[in-house]
Chain A
Amino acid sequence: MSFDNAYESLLGHEDAHWAFGTGFSEALSGVNREFPPGVDREALAAYCLMLGDDALIFSQRLSEWCSRAPELEEDIALANIALDLLGQARMLLTRAGEVLDRDEDQLAYLRDEREFRNVHLAEIDCGPGPGGDFGTTIARLLVFSSWRLALFSRLRGSADPVLAAIAEKGLKELAYHRDHAAQWTVRLGDGTDESHRRMQAGLARVWPFVDELFATHPVETRLAGVAVDPASLRSEVDGVLEAVLNAAGLTRPADTRAARVAGMAGRDGVHTEAMGYLLAEMQHLHRSLPGAVW
């Protein structure tokens, strides 16, 4: 490394130590990647995209908070949670890519909106943009992590060894995220009148997107034994949310359901208006400078 030219050290010397984790080598290089016998590979790829896109898109949303959270500790917390989810996304997209013959970067950066399979809850603006505030983001994190934790808890028993291993790995991370969101929900709900009001408003903002989390998709039906039927998670997740809301002195919003387009939603590639803006920001560098690497 030379200090004569500040840029020289960034030009891919093999032993460059200036930043970790920017090499992005294969995410699943030594994992047993055999496909279970008789599995519908096309459905498996679609399922990995669903779970991978949930994590990738929510990770992008959470990272928007870095430097804008109410306190430094929360900048770090939300960025760390985003990083855990990005790691889960990398592994899931890599698994999908083994069937689709595309790598994780191609899947993240070169798909168009209609090809993304994430639920709407992951993509909507819950702040720091105009769509919400910190309370709204905590409400989304509480719902998302409670749901995904219940899902991963069952996915540990998947017939696909890669999905089972990713679930086992991600489980403790998600438990930590859920605890973080639950403790904030109690602090804000049981805090001042203003924090209570905003936490309650945050729940109202995200609640119409809860129903989609538990809707069984045909891909999940085709993957019996491999995928988890989200409808089976509802009572467990409801129980967790009820316990948190009760402790926080908050009211569970009435069950309303965000509109679908011809019965379709995020799992079918039909997204909300927020998604295009999110993808433009997430993908623009890679599309403007094809093949760009850090």
Chain B
Amino acid sequence: MTTALEIASAVRDPELPVLTLADLGVLREVSEQDGRVVVTITPTYSGCPAIDEMGADLRRSLISAGFAEVEVRLSLSPAWTTDWISDEGRTKLAEAGIAPPSRVGPVAVGPVPLNLVPPSRQVACPQCGSLNTSEISRFGSTACKALRRCNACSEPFEHVKEI
């Protein structure tokens, strides 16, 4: 029999369907006892409109796999950052034409530094691999993405922006 963890891990993100919730790093815990499953997920952004959809998808997948009782819980801490996206997730994003985020590392304690110019990041074009790319828009079609353009092959592409 497939475990609840395996089923929950295979559920896809509603807005980035190339990724599973596990790849995205929002699936925090799955526990199973006597047919009752408790799944804990965390939002990417406070206002992420897909969070209800994620919960519904998890519930639907687990119930159709035979688990009678499914509870989806939300956790806020530790907060999600793009560093929670798995290596496999990053590969899948790039293959789908979406530039994955670079690693940010832990946040320093104290005042958050101000960026008066956009931080220069080496973002490779997912089509041709060129590092000669520039930002078109700091915000994109979903809360987690920015829009960029490749100056070598001229293709626009989405970038999961680092937070």
Contact = CB atoms under 8 A, between A and B. Distances in A.
Given A29-B72, A236-B111, A182 B116 contact: yes
A88 B47 contact: yes
B116 A244 contact: yes
B74 A31 contact: yes
A76 B79 contact: no
Contacts of B75: 30-31
Given A28-B74, A173-B46, 20 more contacts: A15-B56, A20-B49, A21-B50, A23-B52, A25-B55, A27-B74, A29-B72, A29-B73, A29-B74, A73-B138, A81-B139, A87-B43, A90-B47, A168-B79, A169-B77, A171-B107, A176-B161, A179-B114, A179-B118, A240-B114
Contacts of A17: 53
Interface of A: 14-15, 17, 20-25, 27-31, 73, 76-77, 80-81, 83-88, 90-91, 149-150, 153, 164-166, 168-173, 175-176, 178-180, 182-183, 186, 236, 240, 243-244, 247
Contacts, number: 130
Given A21-B49, A29-B72, A80 B143 contact: yes
Given A175-B112, A176-B163, A183-B118, A73 B76 contact: no
A86 B47 contact: yes
B139 A24 contact: no
Q: Binding site of A, secondary structure by majority: helix, strand, loop or mixed?
A: helix
B115 interface: yes
B136 interface: yes
Nearest to A176: B163
A21 B52 contact: yes
Contacts of B97: none
A84 B46 contact: yes
Given A91-B46, A169-B77, A173-B45, A15 B116 contact: no
A90 B140 CA distance: 23
B81 interface: yes
Contact of A168 (B49, B60, B76, B139): B76
Contact of A164 (B77, B81, B110, B139): B77
B155 interface: no
B160 to A, nearest CB: 13
